[in-house]
Amino acid sequence: MTVNKARILVIDDEKAIRKFLIAALGQGYHVFEASTGAEGIAAAATHHPDLILLDLGLPDMDGIVVTQRLREWTKTPILILSVREDESGKIAALDAGADDYVTKPFGTGELLARIRVALRRAEQAGVSDALFDDGWLKVDLAARIVSINGVATQLTPNEYDLLRLFIAHRGKVLTHKFILQQVWGDNYSDGHHLLQVNVSNLRKKIEQDPAQPQRIRTEPGVGYRFTAEPASGN
């Protein structure tokens, strides 16, 4: 069984945090550690981890720079460890290519859940489903048909593109800037209000209770995360 264990690289300058992470992750994963950015980049090249846990506040270089350097040659999922106040840091890291973030301090449960999502997403990368169905929302991506609880629903072209983008990146936090660029193109990178209105309309069409959305979650100050998963059997 040990052969199939995923490999995780922890890059953090605090020894106590590394020790706790090794203890928390040790049972399910092979864990490697690095205490500086440079060391981390080197370790990523040597150990070929399946996932990298990266602290934003490293002594030798900015976590965002580490992300950029890693993204030059690897697609390994990167999970950022950051403090709550640092929204701009999170956004910069995500825009630089990080996959997700966990806010410090975090519980083990939350961390493990994020790691599982990231690893699964990496595994499924390149495999595109033709159909998404979580039991309520059903999207036939090949035929461009959306139905809610079995009833076909009309989406505007932008809403459909938005939904398709969310489904393709489900579980992952998407920044405002990324979504705007993907759906509307580069010229709309500051069309925050446009995005907000479209998300609001999409929620009204696909959420059971649009006031307390369960599928498209807002990540305050950062962006959105599509949290629905296909119901088992699909």
Partner 1 sequence: MQWDVCNVETASELAKPVGTQQRLKAALQKAEYGNAKVVLLYADEDVHSIADAISTYARRINARTIMLSRGQKRSFWMAKDLPGVLLREHADLDLVIISRHGHPPIAPTQDSPTNSLADHLKALALVGIATATSAFFENYLAPANIMLALLLAVLLSALMLGRRPAILAAIVGVLVFDLYFVPPRFTLEVDDSEYLLTLIGFILTSIIISALATQRRFNHFEAREREKDANLLYSLGKELAQAQEVSEVGVVLERHLVLDFGTDVCLYQPGSSNMLLVYPSPGQTPNAQEQSWADWCFRNNEPGGSSSSVLASSDPLFYPLSASDMVVGVLSFKPNQPQASVSLGKLRILSAVCTQAALALQRIQLTEQAKQLKLAQATEKLQNALLNSISHELRTPLVSITGALSLLDAETNREEKSQFTELVHHAFAEAQRLNQLVGNLLEMARLESGALKLRKRTTDISDLIGTAISQIETRAEGRHFSVRMSPDMPAPNLDFVLITHVLVNLLDNSLKYSQPDSEIEIEAESSASSIQIRVMDRGIGITPGEEAQIFEKFTRGTNTSDTKGTGLGLAICHGIVEAHGGSISAFARPEGGAIFVVKLPV
Binding site for partner 1 (CB under 8 A): 14, 16-17, 19-21, 23-24, 57, 83-85, 87, 104-109, 192-193, 196-197, 199-200, 210-213, 217-218, 220-221
Distance CA(22)–CA(16), nearest Å, equals: 10
Q: Which is nearer to partner 1, 71 or 104 (CB)?
A: 104
The one-character DSSP state at 230 is P
Residue 77 contacts residue 51 (beta carbons within 8 Å): yes
* Minimum distance from residue 133 beta carbon to partner 1 (Å): 23
Residue 50 contacts residue 8 (beta carbons within 8 Å): yes
Q: Which is nearer to partner 1, 191 or 230 (CB)?
A: 191
Q: Which is nearer to partner 1, 14 or 123 (CB)?
A: 14
Q: Which is nearer to partner 1, 108 or 149 (CB)?
A: 108
- For residue 22, the one-letter residue type is I
User: Got the DSSP string for 130-193?
Assistant: SEEE-SSEEEETTTTEEEETTEEE---HHHHHHHHHHHHTTTSEEEHHHHHHHHH-GGGTT-HH
Q: Which is nearer to partner 1, 145 or 222 (CB)?
A: 222
Distance CA(108)–CA(28), nearest Å, equals: 12
The one-character DSSP state at 216 is E
* Minimum distance from residue 18 beta carbon to partner 1 (Å): 9
* Minimum distance from residue 217 beta carbon to partner 1 (Å): 6
* Minimum distance from residue 128 beta carbon to partner 1 (Å): 29
Q: Which is nearer to partner 1, 68 or 201 (CB)?
A: 201
* Minimum distance from residue 192 beta carbon to partner 1 (Å): 5
Distance CA(91)–CA(114), nearest Å, equals: 17
Distance CA(229)–CA(105), nearest Å, equals: 27
* Minimum distance from residue 203 beta carbon to partner 1 (Å): 8
- For residue 205, the one-letter residue type is K
